[in-house]
Amino acid sequence: MNKLFVIILTLIIFACQPTAKKPAEIAQPLAWVNDAVMYEVNVRQYTPEGTFKAFEAHLPRLKEMGVEILWFMPIYPISEKNRKGKLGSYYSIRDYKAINPEFGNMDDFKALVNHAHEMGFKVMLDWVGNHTGWDNQWIIDHKDWYTQDSLGNVIPPDPEWKDVADLNYNNKEMRHAMLDALKFWVKNANVDGYRCDYAGGVPTDFWETARLALDSIKPVFMLDENQDQMNLLNKAFNMNYGWSFHHLMNDVAQGKKTAHSMDSLLTVMASTYPTNTYALEFTSNHDENSHNGTEYERLGEAVKTMAVLTFTVPGMPLIYTGQEAGLNKRLLFFEKDQVDWSNLDMQQFYHQLIQLKKEQPALWNGAAGGPLTIVSTNLPKQVLAFTREKDNDQVLAVFNLSAQPVDAVLQVANAGDYKEYFSGETKKLEKGTSLHMDKWGVQIYIRN
């Protein structure tokens, strides 16, 4: 789909939402997500072994980096029928209640979850509610649980998705089995929530029922891989994907859009998310890396600039497997293709960003943080500047979103002494203050 069309469509969708923000009708917000950063774990590509036990050795490093939520890509057995590539897609599931033998066994996974919890992590699983693989026992025993054409043939949800079969949510027995499988991992492995793949391909009322059922076991956190169905945030999900902002970052880095577009989108988004819900912000994830290119391909010299953006706008930042190692290759999706961990130069950068977020309550997630207010500049097409304030904490973020150095004049509302986070230098800021910004430069000021 054309990226410009996606952005325009998103703005239209957001514009059509009610102007008055309503609180999400889900359980009380979880305190542990307030300042949390999410990390996506690609077990297959993480280590030479590609197992839970091998990944477990990285927990101390991730803890030191500061991430709190570990989202595991699907860990279930992968279907062999109509499989893509040698190893197949994680998202073609043969059994919702079992472990992919590539990764280990159930005891290995439970041990990993227990260890992660002991270290202070939360663990989320990837869930595929729209479809299964073609040799899932469900399709063998219950053909009526699947969508069929006029000839009675089970069909995929999309003609291009030939390795999966579309589930029929008009079937109450299938819904019950799906809900039972979701509850299984919370009850038996003590996971803390789910990232739900293609959540928009499942009826909203199912997710709302599932949310109540899961919360009755333990309070969970739910992430929706979707942004065009905002009603999913009302009663089912805490967070959705910030697709519109992600695509806009790509376009700005490639010179197709300007900082002014950022102003507009951030302003619209501020009024559309129900209270206590927000977007997951990212420069990469498994889909983007494998199919659309690494952040270095898409963002070029703006990689760090856009990463800082994801940590300072309202929403939860995501780090994908290998980004802290400067991953600059498209990981194969259906084959073994290990991350090279020999250079961890970017790990300190991400650690610094995580510390910034944790230390400044104004930058916390959703309603736990402060609202974003755009600061006017003399260069609206090149410079994005905004403040976020929470109680006595105030942060001013200034970004040169262009490939040329600029001198930006800011109309700072609250004059005073500010400390620049990255350099440690103190500067007096007031209305009409001029800042010299390197190309793709970032300056984060904290009110002293």
Asked which of 340, 370, 400 is the last residue of a domain, the reply is 370
* CA pseudo-torsion sign 245, 314, 59, 220: negative
Find the mean pLDDT for residues 263-292: 93
Q: What is the pLDDT of residues 197-255, one digit of tens each?
A: 999 999 999 999 999 999 999 999 999 999 999 999 999 999 999 999 999 999 999 99
362 and 400 housed in the same domain: no
Q: Is the predicted pLDDT of residue 274 greater than 70, yes or no?
A: yes
Contact present, 123 and 192 (Cβ < 8 Å): yes
pLDDT at 23: 66
Q: What pLDDT is stored for residue 22 in this prediction?
A: 66
Over 80: is that where the pLDDT of 374 sits? yes
**β-bridge pairing 383-390 and 372-374:** antiparallel
Which has the minimum average pLDDT: 6-20, 315-329, 424-438?
A: 6-20
The pLDDT > 90 percentage for the chain reads 90
Q: What is the pLDDT of residue 1?
A: 43
pLDDT at 9: 45
Instruction: Read off the pLDDT band of 104 (50, 70, 90).
Output: very high
What CATH number corresponds to the domain at position 84?
3.20.20.80
Instruction: Check residue 229 and give its pLDDT.
Output: 95
What three-state secondary structure class fits 391?
coil
Same domain, 116 and 132: yes
When pLDDT is averaged across residues 171-177 and rounded to a whole number, the result is 98
User: Any idea of the CA torsion for 275, 279, 280, 285, to the nearest 10 degrees?
Assistant: 160
Are residues 366 and 381 part of one domain? no
Q: At what angle do helices 303-312 and 243-253 cross, to 10 degrees?
A: 150
Domain of residue 115 covers 3-370
Contacts (Cβ under 8 Å, ≥6 apart) of 433? 409, 410, 412, 427
- Asked which of 339, 370, 401 is the last residue of a domain, the reply is 370
Are 258 and 227 members of one domain? yes
Give yes or no: residues 339 and 242 share one domain: yes
- Check whether residue 399 and residue 260 sit in a common domain: no
Give the closest residue to 200 by CA, choosing from 224, 219, 166: 224
pLDDT at 26 over 90: no
Residues 23, 136 within the same domain? yes
The yes-or-no verdict on residue 140 having pLDDT over 70 is yes
Q: What is the pLDDT of residue 266?
A: 93
Residues sharing a CB contact under 8 Å with residue 406, sequence separation 6 or more, in sequence order: 379, 382, 383, 400, 436, 437
Domain co-membership, 361 together with 387 = no
Rounded to an integer, the average pLDDT of 48-77 is 98
Neighbouring-strand partners of residue 317: 281
How many folded domains does the chain comprise?
2
Same domain, 332 and 418: no
Q: What would the mean pLDDT of 410-425 be, rounded to a whole number? A: 94
Name the pLDDT band for 28 (thresholds 50, 70, 90): low
The dihedral region occupied by 413, where left means phi > 0, alpha psi between -120 and 50, and beta the remainder, is alpha
First to last CA, the chain: 46
pLDDT given at position 205: 98
Query: Do 381 and 360 sit in the same domain of this protein?
Result: no
Give the chain's mean pLDDT: 94
| Same-domain status, 259 and 397 | no
Regarding whether 256 and 386 lie in a shared domain, the answer is no
Query: Which CATH number does the domain housing residue 415 bear?
Result: 2.60.40.1180
At which of 370, 396, 418 does a domain end? 370
For the segment 347-367, the average pLDDT, to the nearest whole number, is 97
